[in-house]
Structure 1
Amino acid sequence: MAQPFMNPGYYPYGYQAQVPQPMDRLAQLQSQQQYQMPQNSQQGNGILWVQGEAGAKSYLVAPGTSVLLMDSETERFFIKTMDAAGMPQPLRVFEYHEVGVSASALPKQTEADMDNKYVTREEYNDLKGKYEELYRLLDTSTQQPSTNKTGVEIKKGGTQHGKSSV
């Protein structure tokens, strides 16, 4: 009599167990990848969010598709494309800004503020010349005794015709 435990191909009463066929290594890795796809993104309202350019570069894209990825850290968005052969195309990076009346008025305010804060080289040189002239006048008035229109010398603290010159 045949021993069923000795003959693995022998199944009594016509029963045959369903034995899974061994998968090749590539199919096994692909099935594991489907379950373990770590995505550095948050999804809300149909928008895919990533953290910076590194998050966009590491985002997995199916072959033959393009994906719009919004940066959660800056005012940027990325378009990541994969060709039909599965080769990634260069990551396209864009910056976005709000468009409106206040956005166009902002640079004009900045220019007006700059005019109030800084002087031009011409204004600086003019002011420097006036300063040097005043300094020279002050310096000469302290070194030499001054005279009035009549040519009479005036001394500090002294008198001229009985009147104080101070």
Structure 2
Amino acid sequence: MTSAEIPIPAGARPAALPLFQLIERVESPGRADWTDIPAGPGNYIVFLPENVPFTISPDAPALEAERIRDKWERINLRKPTDILYIGKAANLRQAIRALARFGAGRGGSARGGEWLWQVAPIRQARLEWMECAPGKEKAMKETLLACFLEEHGEWPLANRRYR
């Protein structure tokens, strides 16, 4: 499954921003404006940057780098993908802000984030989100993961363990 093949529910309108812009909001002095990201429930997906080969950061611990590389190769054996992570959120703004804070080294938790930040071009990655009705974010994530699993044989790279 690639970004062009994501099953988008009727009525959903995906929106996107480059990850580096979100990280810059965290790193900038003063209060950044996050109101362009909805505060309601939904799902978000992190994509490998277009026309950028998958590379692991030279700062990644050797054992982690090997595990990440092995998983990426297994995922792409059947069919190439640009999807790195599929997430869900009761509040998209909070979840995406937490992911950006984690990427900026400002702490916080981001499930899956540990492996996202080991991908060398991650700051150029694209993050897309789509809103859904309250309580539907888990079902939407399960649908997205099921489609991915069917095509690639396992979860996306940074979805190390689905909860």
TM range (shorter): under 0.3
Structure number with larger C-alpha Rg: 1
TM-score, normalising length: structure 2: 0.18
Q: Which has the higher contact order (CA 8 A, sep 6+)?
A: 2
